[in-house]
Amino acid sequence: MNKNPLRVNAEKLRENGYSYNMISLKLGISKSTLSTWFKDKAFSPNKEVLKRIQYGPIKSGEIRHNQKVMEIKKLKDEGVKEIGIITKRDLWFLGLGLYIGEGSKSYEIVQIVNSDPQVIRLALKWFREVCNLDNKNITVALHIYPDSNLKKCMEFWSKTTQLPKENFRKTQIDTRKNKSSQKRNKLPYGTAHITIISNGVSEKGVRLHRKISGWIHGALTQI
């Protein structure tokens, strides 16, 4: 899967022992973003980093960071084992939870919007296997930034969704001037808007939206 070019460069620098501050200055990525990206990766400072600051604090920080990395990996591994194999009913509720958070609740339009390719793949699996939809019922509209490469974005999302480019609708370009460059860097491929079309079959359009609303109501009223 294609990666954010900035993240690829940041990963190379981090693997070569550069600090968040040095990577931030070089690539213009916020330290908070770098911390999110590398929170579960072990770190060993290079000679340049050690020259810039006293060895004691950086060594202590390295030990604490690597201990945290080991704990994160241990808990993630435990979590994977606890989840086990996902059944179709599990998928039903997993997708329903996703729809509660990210799906359209109004205008009787079935739609999920997200920028995370794994979330989009989950949504499509739910639509296909739980809602019994075909590719002909699924459309994608991309929302990207002015500095995004439209061709690369199309290729990325076409590969992610396993949908031909004929299923893609007009791309929207966010031209708002108050968007920071850091925000754009976080979404190199923009956001995918997955919208379901009925193709004249109401069970795969308006009636599907009403059924999903019923699933949501049935689940939430039991909580």
Backbone angles phi, psi at 194, to 5 degrees: -90, 115
Q: Look up residue 59 and give its DSSP letter.
A: H
Report d(CA 170, CA 9) in Å as an integer: 31
pLDDT (mean) for 111-122: 97
pLDDT (mean) for 119-132: 97
Burial of 118 (0-12, 13-18, 19+ CB in 10 A): exposed
In the prediction, which pLDDT does 19 show? 83
Pairing of strands 172-173, 191-196: unpaired
pLDDT (mean) for 197-218: 95
| Average pLDDT over the chain, rounded to an integer | 88
> Measuring CA to CA, how many Å separate 21 from each of 29, 30, 33, 115, 145?
9, 9, 11, 27, 26
Q: How many CB atoms lie within 10 A of CB 67?
A: 11
Burial of 13 (0-12, 13-18, 19+ CB in 10 A): middle
| 76-90 pLDDT, tens digit each | 999 999 999 999 999
Report d(CA 189, CA 148) in Å as an integer: 7
**pTM, whole model, 2 decimals?**
0.71
pLDDT (mean) for 171-187: 69
Query: What does the angle CA 34 – CA 124 – CA 191 come to, to the nearest 5 degrees?
Result: 40
Confidence of residue 161 (pLDDT cuts 50, 70, 90): very high
In the prediction, which pLDDT does 213 show? 96
pLDDT (mean) for 5-15: 89
Q: To which H or E segment does residue 13 belong?
A: helix 5-15
Report d(CA 209, CA 107) in Å as an integer: 9
Q: Which residue has the higher pLDDT, 40 or 76?
A: 76
Q: Which of 16-25, 39-48, 55-64, 107-116 has the highest mean pLDDT?
A: 107-116
Backbone angles phi, psi at 34, to 5 degrees: -60, -40
Confidence of residue 36 (pLDDT cuts 50, 70, 90): confident
In the prediction, which pLDDT does 203 show? 93
pLDDT (mean) for 154-168: 95
